[in-house]
Structure 1
Amino acid sequence: MHTSSTASSHGVHPADRHEMIRVRGARVNNLKNVSIEIPKRRLTVFTGVSGSGKSSLVFGTIAAESQRMINETYSAFVQGFMPTLARPDVDVLEGLTTAILVDQERMGANPRSTVGTVTDANAMLRIVFSRLAQPHIGSPQAYSFNVASISGAGAVTIERAGEKVKERRSFSITGGMCPRCEGMGKVNDFNLDAIFDAGKSLSEGALLVPGYSMDGWYGRIFAGSGFFDMDKKLGKFTKKELHDLLHKEATKIKAEGINVTYEGLIPKMQKSMLSKDVDAMQPHVRAFVERAVVFTTCPECAGTRLAEHARNSTIDGVSIADACALQISDLAIWVRSVKDPSVAPLLKALGETLDSFVEIGLGYLSLDRPAGTLSGGEAQRTKMIRHLGSSLTDITYVFDEPTIGLHPHDIARMNKLLLQLRDKGNTVLVVEHKPEAIAIADHVVDLGPLAGSSGGEVVYEGDLAGLRASGTITGRHLDDKVGLKASFRNAGGVLEVRGASENNLKDVDVDIPLGVLTVITGVAGSGKSSLIHGSVSGREGVVTVDQGAIRGSRRSNPATYTGLLEPIRKAFAKVNGVKPALFSANSEGACPTCNGAGVIYTDLGMMAGVSTMCEECEGRRFQAAVLEFHLGGKNISEVLSMSVDRAAEFFADGDAKLPAAHKILVRLSDVGLGYLTLGQPLTTLSGGERQRIKLATHLGEKGGIYVLDEPTTGLHLADVQKLLGLLDRLVDSGKSVIVIEHHQAVMAHADWIIDIGPGAGHDGGSIVFQGTPAELVASRQTLTGQHLAAYVGE
């Protein structure tokens, strides 16, 4: 391992253990007995190829143990309501401080969460309105769309003249929730055409709702109800018949002499389908719900979520709904225009919070933006705002690629904020690939040398100059630059976009060339995603490969998702003369104790559930008898434990030669996922890994238009060149590739660039440049052009 002589910058000496986080013998995931000392109150960046062990060390070891130890300080009663955290596999961890994770996990799809509610901004704004708005309507909760207005009466016991007496008292709570939509801003309605076929009778199968066959029990209940004629076309039903079919409240009836309850289709569907998590449904049920349920803006509150009294209470003609709908950069200006000594400190604090949004490059958001619609990078930066104003010091802040989703113009601002956190006396740990972010490190820890089982070691620790000279993969590629192409492909047609006005787009007309590599650029919030996802994705022949979650259970893995397991199971079956189903952990070959999960999930009621390795199969997921069958000297569990690259070698030739499997494995390796194991749960993949595994599954298809959203996310510098080669192969095979990207290497490699801006939010939404990268650099008229020119050294 290379170690720089200046490993402890700012005069911190490694011998001073109080100034270090000490890790000894870390073995989480692929870490190989890693021992390291990290200087406190400094900014340390962790580098290395994807899968080298960065996250295992930073998140899985240091942050995980900090959180576990904090949980142990609470009483046993309180711990009962907390998730049970296992101790990381490490010999010694010393010098830990409270760790706060600022990751890219989406903020969840809770429809009640907005940008304003997940920060302190909404709470402060509600107090300001409760003090200054006219007509005056009382407390801050009167402006909250999460608090309903209720009134009632109840008995209370009071002491009077030494005696306890009961008195009945009335009460009322004035909340700001719109009564029609219950503070959601939307109401759901049903698309009746998706629920039944009006040209058929019930007997002919008019109902299109999954599970409602007239051959079963439902048919007997409908027939026995007597509410309608089973042989009458639904299009001929009277109003009453249609009401009874769709909306009738629960009613006791006799069907074939049995007492049963009849209920209309829609209330029944609301209970059985709409109360469930859509992603947890079976695919055919989910597809039905997406067709049948239509969400429309609430007609009463016009989507503001607020009751009439809250909408009508204003400060200088501005309601709280108006304020929350403003772009945050504009809201900051409005807040400063409000002058009132009684709330001056509060206005100052609110203004500073809003300024933080602008500083971090999120000034284009509004406080009423649903939190679940933020990208991973936007969510991470929003979480960061919570901590910037904190007066706590000696905290360990842990960041996971904070530059994701940031234009080169914004990375300098992110760096400034990270340094501010450090300068307040905190330890800042950053997992990062971008050279501009690595450049600000006081200390660098490089993991490798490669990924998976070939990684898990600290190959360098020290300063930036030492990293450059270290000879590690990161050191060698730190100053990589991609030059402008000498020649560009010619378009074979165009994809027309006309009058695009989604979100902040200003009636955009643009021709996107086909048969070439087109890169869409612009600062965060300029309108790139609005243009492509709003006007291109969803068209016939367009394949959109994004970073969204992959629908599937915790049993899904790369082998099942890509279809790789199918030829492997058949090969095992053929060689051993048994059924293919034996080689599926979700079918006949499953361990009977854990049902093929490899772990036992225990639901502890009010406590968090825990999972423990299955003792029967020792986590291998299969029955012992199945593991006696071999292919090329390996059993099915051993194959699923292989990395993609190792499996590609295994199935390339010899006894295990399997061209169908090898072809899929090569595609996975081509997209930079050679380090993944075939049986790794999909739920453990990052956003960038999810995007690349989706891309791998589409690589064999002919023709078409591919849309990629920041494919460099999570890619090491050494793999960017590999990605560019893959994009070239896609275009050369006849595909049109449209990439939304911030990485200058991808911009420089493009045949055509469409730059959107000039700024973010209402300052963006226009096409500010379209042409070749060489023309963009020569003009230098846009922010993108200036940064690309600096990158290529022109």
Structure 2
Amino acid sequence: MSSNECIHIKGARQHNLKNLTLDIPRNKLVVVCGPSGSGKSTLAFDIVYAEGQRRYVESLSAYARQFLPQMDKPDIDNIEGLTPAISLEQQTTSKNPRSTVGTVTEVYDFLRVFYARLGTMYCPKCGRPIVAQSMDEIIEKIAAMPEKTRFLLLAPQVEQKKGTHAKLFKSLLGEGFVRVRVNGDVFPLETPPELDKKKKHTIELVVDRLVVKEGMRKRLADSVELALKFGSGRLSVVQVGGEHDGESTLYSSDAVCPECNISLPPLTPQLFSFNSPQGACPKCSGIGSVEYFEPALIAPNQGLSLEQGAVIPWKNPKIFSRYKAGLTTLGEKYGFTVSTPLKDMSEEARRVLFEGDKDLKWKGVLKILGTGMQFGSIWRDELSRFRQSRPCPACQGARLRPESLAARVADKNIDEFTRMSIRKSLEWLSALEFEAHQKLIAGPLLKELTHRLHFLVNVGLDYLSLARNMSTLSGGEAQRIRLAGQLGSGLVGVTYVLDEPSIGLHPRDNDRLLKTLRDLQGRGNTVLVVEHDDKTIENADHVLELGPGSGWLGGELVYEGDVPGLLKAKDSLTGKYLRGDLKIDQPETRREAQGHITLRNVRTNNLQGLDLALPLGCLSVVTGVSGSGKSSLVVDSLYKHIALARGTKVDNPGQLDGIDGIDAIERVVSIDQTPIGRTPRSNPATYTKIFDEIRKIFSTTKEARARGYKPGRFSFNVKGGRCESCRGDGYKRVEMHFLPDVFVKCDVCKGKRYNHETLEVKYKGKNIHEVLDMTVREAALFFENYPVLKRRLAILEDVGLGYLRLGQPATTLSGGEAQRIKISRELGKRSLPGTLYILDEPTTGLHMHEVGKLIAVLQRLVDRGASVLVIEHNTDVVRSADWVIDLGPGGGEHGGRIVAQGTPEQIAANPDSVTGSFL
């Protein structure tokens, strides 16, 4: 194929790729599959995407390039036909509390303009609509009063303020005015009243006295202009005589409530931005939540007394001695001593202990700890573990100031709109009706809003709301949100590189995702997808399978061609599973529960007051369509409440009436997909403690003993043996200004982390850098004479990570790899009974062949006495469970109920279960 028809790659040797030459058809849906570590991400991201980005930077002017580092060319001979590349990786989501679904997809930007141009202000106090009026509109309304109506035209000066205001009277007289109205009475400015400075007064300037009649319009116009000038955009009309004597009407060229006299700012897009001072709630600065000290975290063990350290921050005797006298005095009044266990104190005594007693000048534990937050970063970090976040009491989590929330389109303010599900938002927008002059403004905005919301629906995210914080989403959801954002951009002629977009999707929702990928491709883009999902592979135009194994056993092109050819390929591991030649064995029997944890009336997010008895001593799986409430039930409700009961800091635990049976759980562990570290300094060897043993081995070598090197010499975290240029990172972070930051290899140690002297020490012919560069599988053979190391490395291989390099930076690991590293560390522990493990989609990043290995590992955890609870869509995992809980029937408000529960066989036989139909 020519370079116009394909991306031609010649001699790819990056990482473990073995001099590959291949073609990727352009403007097609191309799937790259194969075992973990076979080189899929290397091909897709480290070659196609990285070279696309490098060429983009090279295309910039010399002036722009001087601010950017030289980007390394991938290890390839040549690549032709490459178009600009955009990557959408499967990674854990943003931790920025300001990132929401609305801001990331840019829907919120259009929404702010929509409310600024089409919103109507309503008074926050009385609820009446407020519209700013032009001078002509004000003149028209005054002139429309009945003929012969006498009135005063006033310019407000002071409203309910204390003082004599003598300077104001003198200033107004100097401007040439004659009269002033003070507290409802008119006085000449030459002899103004003497006011009591301790009382509040209202002062209005009398600009004119008029009668409604023919020919008064010019004089009225001049007087209105003058009144607006001296009244700072406001004036009032007070009728004199007649049946409406004394009746006052307030007019404003700004938005002002005439009833409550509240002035509101003009509607601008900035007013609706929680990242702008004009719009952000002043209490929480636009974050929507505030942190507070939680008594349950400060004093988790109610059986201890104050003297015994019940209040954890005061456990140190020196710190406790500062407050002992105050606590003793408090105890004399409320009937306790410092030796009384907290559980034996009265409810009132516990309340004043934490909240304080003004009479005794006892500030309370919460206030004292709050003061401690000001004593420097070390003390502040220590105290932060006793704090929780909760919705801001001022804005109730809306993030915006009251003036921003006072604007409405139809019946909703911007916060109410963003809290609706995306599907409901679309329905609401389609039902809006506007007046003729508003339709011209609304048309383009509605088109953009509905387009972008439809993209979110098409990627299976219709159950989310625009206000949903990005940090609460799974990696799969976050990637599909970025995918929806790309659909909204309308780019053509681009190579999109995606990493497992089907993650987190129920089999029912896969069709919509495939349609989205086809839409992207149909616009004239090349869509290159790293994927394990059988349905996505079967719908591809072209398949590239790498393998046959992982790490150094992979890196070869096993198959290249269309799907019918893949199904016939004898050497293809993927083909064998798609044909049915290979399949994952299911257990012949199901375990019986060894007790239960019972949750009562769970109402977290969209959960509709459900009751659940979760079996212990079993492998349990929670499944259901996207947005049905799986994470709300398992993570927000079950995990967070057990963790809170064990004294662990958690944010926003779910709503429920009670949870029973947690005494059987000594430890709850959530094994999620968050990174094992946030810098290249963290790696699998350090996280699993393997590196500690390796450093000990190197310190016992003959050369190390002769030089006096201790294990610390072989650490890249401390001075001595590390390279000081990069401080042991091996890489340097470079700010790219208008591109994401990148890590470039250290030019002193060439990425080896250590100085020359340290690298001279060798064990069995290898230095410390060369050992860290080994794969887990290679290291297991290298250290086979060390039982502790051999056992830990074998566990890493059991969870399908034999291909990982020991020193591989945490920043390069996928969410699925990070999760399996955490599983391996847990498997390395001696005692597991009484432990509950919670895993969210552990099959992420696993080939069908490796899913079987993972299931075996989970079964091992249960066989050793643990309880395992998994959120999963993979049907092989569901079939392997002892107990299945299927939520649904739909997503968002249409979910939140238990549709079916029982053994996999019972779920498959249940006609109400969507999951059952796929089993």
TM-score normalised according to structure 1 size: 0.81
Q: What residue is the counterpart of 1:156 in the other structure?
A: none
Instruction: Report SS of the residue matched to 1:302.
Output: coil
Q: 1:498: how far off?
A: 1.6
Q: 1:767: how far off?
A: 0.7
2:684–2:807 Cα contact (<8 Å) kept: yes
User: What are structure 2's unaligned runs of at least 5 residues?
Assistant: 122-130, 132-265, 300-304, 330-355, 643-665
Q: Tell me which amino acid in the other structure corresponds to 1:683.
A: T
Q: What residue is the counterpart of 1:362 in the other structure?
A: 461
Deviations along 1:281-334, whole A, 9 cap, x unmatched?
Answer: xxx97453232x443322222211122222122223211111111111111111
Q: What residue is the counterpart of 2:682 in the other structure?
A: 556
Q: What residue is the counterpart of 1:352 in the other structure?
A: 451
Alignment of 1:608-757 (within 5 A): 613-614=745-746, 617-652=749-784, 657-699=785-827, 700=829, 701-703=831-833, 704-757=835-888
Distance 1:681 1:310, change over 3 A: same
Instruction: Report SS of the residue matched to 1:129.
Output: helix
Alignment of 1:261-340 (within 5 A): 265-269=372-376, 272=377, 286=381, 288-291=383-386, 293-340=387-434
Alignment of 1:469-508 (within 5 A): 469-470=568-569, 471-479=571-579, 480-482=582-584, 485-508=587-610
Is 1:447 the equivalent of 2:546?
yes
> Greater CA radius of gyration, 1 or 2?
2
Q: What residue is the counterpart of 2:275 in the other structure?
A: 146
Q: What residue is the counterpart of 1:389 in the other structure?
A: 488
Distance, in Å, in 2 between the alignment partners of 1:745 and 1:287 is: 44
Q: 1:732: how far off?
A: 1.9
Q: What residue is the counterpart of 1:182 in the other structure?
A: 285
Distance, in Å, in 2 between the alignment partners of 1:532 and 1:758 is: 17
Distance, in Å, in 2 between the alignment partners of 1:575 and 1:443 is: 53
Instruction: Report SS of the residue matched to 1:550.
Output: coil
Distance 1:649 1:485, change over 3 A: same
Deviations along 1:540-578, whole A, 9 cap, x unmatched?
Answer: 422221111224642222111111122233233335373
Q: Tell me which amino acid in the other structure corresponds to 1:640.
A: L
Q: Tell me which amino acid in the other structure corresponds to 2:789.
A: A
Q: Tell me which amino acid in the other structure corresponds to 2:624.
A: G
Distance, in Å, in 2 between the alignment partners of 1:398 and 1:602 is: 24
1:753–1:770 Cα contact (<8 Å) kept: yes
Is 1:542 the equivalent of 2:636?
no
Distance, in Å, in 1 between the alignment partners of 2:639 and 2:382 is: 18
Distance 1:323 1:616, change over 3 A: closer
Instruction: Report SS of the residue matched to 2:909.
Output: helix
Deviations along 1:385-420, whole A, 9 cap, x unmatched?
Answer: 122234332111111100001111111211111111
Backbone CA RMSD of aligned residues: 3.6
Instruction: Report SS of the residue matched to 1:17.
Output: coil
> Identity across aligned pairs (percent)?
43
Distance 1:488 1:35, change over 3 A: same
More displaced, 126-135 or 185-194? Answer: 185-194
Distance, in Å, in 2 between the alignment partners of 1:668 and 1:508 is: 38
1:594–1:600 Cα contact (<8 Å) kept: no
Deviations along 1:156-195, whole A, 9 cap, x unmatched?
Answer: xxxxxxxxxxxxxxxxxxxx32223222222334569999
Distance, in Å, in 2 between the alignment partners of 1:313 and 1:753 is: 47
Distance, in Å, in 2 between the alignment partners of 1:213 and 1:52 is: 57
1:483–1:748 Cα contact (<8 Å) kept: no
Q: 1:605: how far off?
A: 10
Q: 1:139: how far off?
A: 2.6
Distance 1:596 1:650, change over 3 A: farther
2:836–2:866 Cα contact (<8 Å) kept: yes
Is 1:54 the equivalent of 2:40?
yes
The count of aligned residue pairs is 703
1:44–1:444 Cα contact (<8 Å) kept: yes
Instruction: Report SS of the residue matched to 2:15.
Output: coil
Q: Tell me which amino acid in the other structure corresponds to 1:569.
A: R
Distance, in Å, in 2 between the alignment partners of 1:731 and 1:294 is: 32
1:518–1:753 Cα contact (<8 Å) kept: yes
Distance, in Å, in 1 between the alignment partners of 2:758 and 2:786 is: 20
User: What are structure 1's unaligned runs of at least 5 residues?
Assistant: 1-13, 150-175, 216-228, 249-262, 274-283, 789-794
Distance, in Å, in 1 between the alignment partners of 2:409 and 2:421 is: 18
1:520 to 618, 622, 635: 622
Distance, in Å, in 2 between the alignment partners of 1:109 and 1:744 is: 31
2:816–2:842 Cα contact (<8 Å) kept: yes
Q: 1:81: how far off?
A: 5.6
2:586–2:880 Cα contact (<8 Å) kept: yes
Alignment of 1:107-186 (within 5 A): 107-135=93-121, 136=131, 137-149=266-278, 176-186=279-289
Deviations along 1:238-269, whole A, 9 cap, x unmatched?
Answer: 989999x9999xxxxxxxxxxxxxx9754454
Q: What residue is the counterpart of 2:691 in the other structure?
A: 565
Q: Tell me which amino acid in the other structure corresponds to 1:781.
A: D
Q: What residue is the counterpart of 1:782 in the other structure?
A: 913
Q: What residue is the counterpart of 2:566 in the other structure?
A: 467
Q: What residue is the counterpart of 1:278 in the other structure?
A: none
Distance 1:477 1:200, change over 3 A: closer
Q: 1:84: how far off?
A: 5.4
Q: What residue is the counterpart of 1:160 in the other structure?
A: none
1:380 to 470, 479, 489: 479
Q: What residue is the counterpart of 1:167 in the other structure?
A: none
Distance 1:347 1:586, change over 3 A: closer
1:246–1:266 Cα contact (<8 Å) kept: no
Distance, in Å, in 2 between the alignment partners of 1:596 and 1:618 is: 13
Q: What residue is the counterpart of 1:398 in the other structure?
A: 497
Q: What residue is the counterpart of 1:32 in the other structure?
A: 18
More displaced, 432-441 or 106-115? Answer: 106-115
Q: 1:127: how far off?
A: 2.6
Distance 1:490 1:195, change over 3 A: closer
Q: Tell me which amino acid in the other structure corresponds to 2:575.
A: G
Instruction: Report SS of the residue matched to 1:366.
Output: coil
Q: What residue is the counterpart of 2:237 in the other structure?
A: none
More displaced, 528-537 or 230-239? Answer: 230-239
Q: 1:200: how far off?
A: 10
Distance, in Å, in 1 between the alignment partners of 2:596 and 2:290 is: 39
Q: 1:357: how far off?
A: 1.8
